[in-house]
Structure 1
Amino acid sequence: METKHRCAWCEKDDLYRNYHDNEWGKPVYDDKTIFEFLILETFQAGLSWYTVLAKRENFRKAFDDFDWNTIAHYSEVKMAELAEDSGIIRNKLKIKATVTNAQAFLKVQEEFGTFSKYIWGFVDGKPIDNQPKNLGEVKATTEISDKLSRDLKKRGFKFVGSTVVYAHMQATGMVNDHVMNCLTRK
């Protein structure tokens, strides 16, 4: 019988291990968590996920617990305040994109009823289990993430390239990229 381990990427510390064991790759269907991960993933673009994860609680406070209705109406003053908040990633373009993405999120909800219904439609409502044998088999993008990225951009979302979108799909369990001998695969 093969020994169970965690996916190697998460062995940095307990913060990473806890995220891996309890969140990453677990299907998420509620708009609140989907939006949170969407925003966190857009801030991650060009940085390490660990950097974002370590600041996650600060992001929650700074961005009104990821309330897209509130964020969609942020003023220039509020965005300037966020750009001075050392608890988050102070990238002005990403802060502005968060407001833009909240506005686009609302439009998708209006059209589909929930953002979850929209985004999960790209995988027919159920997770894709890639069953990688090792991390080398885990892709950074797929045809589905390419398609979803293009559609999100068409709908006005920012910082949603295919790599960011695929990371979001992994985080929210739209795809399961836990390696086959990972302890999360009981």
Structure 2
Amino acid sequence: MKTVRCEWANTSELDQTYHDEEWGVPVHDDQKLFEFLLLESMQAGLSWSTILKKRATLTEAFDQFDYKKIASYTEQKEAALLQNPGVIRHKLKIAAAITNAQKFIAVQQEFGSFDQYIWSFVDYQPLVNHWQEANEVPASTGLSDRISKDLKKRGFKFLGTTTVYAFMQAAGLVDDHLPYCFKRAAT
């Protein structure tokens, strides 16, 4: 019997694995939340498949997404990342990763954890959407607008409303699995 997934996840084995094991699963671990923030900010303007293909290299290059280490990256480390062909060599995105690590720590200090902060926007429960077709799934919402504005106010970079909505999907703050998808049937 063939596994039926959301349409976007049928393009590659990497997409399928990500869809099946991660996308839409609620994340409460700050380390994993930062990983998704970094990956989604790197993805801006690119396909998610590109990020998945580079994920292993990005993980290694960014010290397993250790935000404490990333927050203290030097200009030399930043320059080395810009020379690494396995990462997204975009100066502003790499600078944003460092800034976002610093701001992530500031949010932890203010709220106790980034998890506490980000999940407060959805009252600590995933928002389960009931889209019928892939073309109904929005690229952004009023809520992603609000979160993006709050993150920007706190100094985060490269986290516009579309990127934030993709982060919300990745980290399970929203469940956008379509009704025919086996993951929707599991919830």
Task: Give the TM-score, by structure 2 length.
Answer: 0.97
For residues 148-163 of structure 1, the aligned pairs below 5 Å read: 148-163=147-162
CA distance in 1, matches of 2:151, 2:70: 18
Q: Offset of 1:10 from its aligned partner?
A: 0.8
Partner of 2:180: 181
| Secondary structure, aligned partner of 2:151 | helix
| Secondary structure, aligned partner of 2:130 | coil
1:4 and 1:65, CA in 2 relative to 1: closer, same or farther beyond 3 A?
closer
Partner of 2:119: 120
- Runs of 4 or more, structure 1, over 3 Å off, are none
Partner of 1:24: 23
- Counterpart residue type for residue 87 of structure 2: I
CA distance in 1, matches of 2:74, 2:149: 28
Partner of 2:129: 130
How many correspondences in the alignment? 184
1:182 and 1:39, CA in 2 relative to 1: closer, same or farther beyond 3 A?
same
Alignment deviations for residues 22-68 of structure 1 (CA, whole Å, 9 cap, x no partner): 10001001101100000000000011111011100101100000001
Partner of 1:38: 37
CA distance in 1, matches of 2:46, 2:184: 28
Alignment deviations for residues 61-92 of structure 1 (CA, whole Å, 9 cap, x no partner): 00000001100000000000000000111001
Q: Offset of 1:4 from its aligned partner?
A: 6.6
The answer (yes or no) to whether the contact 1:4–1:181 under 8 Å persists in 2 is: no
What runs of 5+ residues in structure 2 fail to find an aligned partner?
Answer: none
CA distance in 2, matches of 1:6, 1:126: 23
Alignment deviations for residues 114-165 of structure 1 (CA, whole Å, 9 cap, x no partner): 0000000000001000121110110011111000000000000000100000
CA distance in 1, matches of 2:77, 2:38: 17
CA distance in 1, matches of 2:3, 2:102: 43
2:71 pairs with 1:67: no
- Counterpart residue type for residue 10 of structure 1: A
Partner of 1:101: 100
Partner of 2:83: 84
Task: Give the TM-score, by structure 1 length.
Answer: 0.97
Question: Superposition RMSD on alpha carbons, in Å?
Answer: 1.0
CA distance in 2, matches of 1:140, 1:23: 19
- Counterpart residue type for residue 183 of structure 1: F
CA distance in 2, matches of 1:133, 1:13: 23
